[in-house]
């Protein structure tokens, strides 16, 4: 009898926990998410851009963030730097070569340095026919239940990659020791996910 009461009490407690606090799988809500990048230009400035078409899923357990996983795919033809000529150049064989390499993907499978505010997500980034290890610094922005009863989770993730590691080597030497296009690319992901029911 005591065991039955204990089980019923635990069940009642679990039912009172908001759905967003339980482990869940999420679909990325692309309408409330952003994938942006920034790169040096001529050594004196930085150019920003974004990708408008992407999708993915992730798993997150606030009680055990070390089990977090993520998968995302980005359509490279959706690149947008607010300059049509530059966007066309980025899509051609000098850079992304979208005809032969239409997608960039990330598979995150290992977590380190996890605490209540974030973690490092280790994975592989595939781009332009190359796959390289990448580590995302992930910050938890929050867990909520929206007005329609959907569990939502929000994260900000950042990393830097050397574009040459992925065969993206085009640039011009300006004759001043500076290059037209820098090598290091800063990437920021503002991700909001909807729990899969």
Residue 112 banded pLDDT, cuts 50, 70, 90:
very high
* pLDDT on residue 9: 40
Q: 90 in a domain, yes or no? A: yes
Low-confidence winner among 1-10, 135-144, 172-181 (lowest mean pLDDT): 1-10
Q: With pLDDT > 70 as the criterion, what percentage of the chain qualifies?
A: 89
Residue 11 has pLDDT above 90, yes or no: no
Q: 10 in a domain, yes or no? A: no
Domain of residue 147 covers 20-195
CATH number of the domain encompassing residue 59: 2.40.128.110
Domain count, the chain: 1
pTM: 0.86
Mapped onto helix, strand or coil, the DSSP state of residue 63 is coil
Per-residue pLDDT tens digits for 49-106: 999 999 999 999 999 999 999 999 999 999 999 999 999 999 999 999 999 999 999 9
34-50: average pLDDT: 94
Residue 3 banded pLDDT, cuts 50, 70, 90:
low
Q: 169 in a domain, yes or no? A: yes
Mean pLDDT of the chain: 90
> Diameter of the chain by CA atoms?
84
Q: 104 in a domain, yes or no? A: yes
* pLDDT on residue 22: 59
Q: 15 in a domain, yes or no? A: no
Find the helix or strand (DSSP H, E) in which 84 lies.
helix 84-91
Q: 7 in a domain, yes or no? A: no
Residue 6 has pLDDT above 80, yes or no: no
Q: How far apart are CA 81 and CA 70, in angstroms?
A: 26
Q: 11 in a domain, yes or no? A: no
Residue 10 banded pLDDT, cuts 50, 70, 90:
very low
Q: How far apart are CA 90 and CA 101, in angstroms?
A: 12
């Amino acid at each position: 009898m005591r065991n039955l009461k204990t089980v019923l009490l635990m069940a009642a407690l679990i039912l009172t926990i908001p759905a967003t606090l339980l482990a869940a799988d999420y679909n990325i809500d692309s309408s409330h998410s952003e994938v942006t990048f920034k790169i040096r230009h001529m050594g004196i400035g930085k150019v920003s851009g974004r990708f408008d078409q992407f999708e993915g899923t992730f798993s997150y357990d606030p009680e055990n963030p070390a089990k977090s996983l993520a998968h995302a795919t980005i359509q490279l033809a959706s690149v947008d730097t607010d300059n049509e000529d530059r966007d066309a150049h980025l899509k051609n064989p000098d850079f992304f070569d979208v005809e032969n390499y239409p997608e960039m993907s990330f598979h995150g499978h290992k977590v380190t340095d996890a605490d209540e505010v974030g973690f490092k997500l280790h994975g592989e980034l595939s781009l332009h026919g190359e796959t390289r290890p990448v580590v995302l610094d992930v910050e938890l922005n929050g867990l909520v239940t929206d007005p329609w009863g959907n569990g939502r989770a929000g994260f900000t993730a950042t990393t830097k990659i050397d574009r040459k590691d992925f065969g993206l080597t085009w640039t011009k030497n300006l004759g001043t020791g500076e290059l037209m296009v820098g090598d290091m690319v800063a990437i920021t992901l503002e991700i909001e996910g909807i729990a899969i029911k």
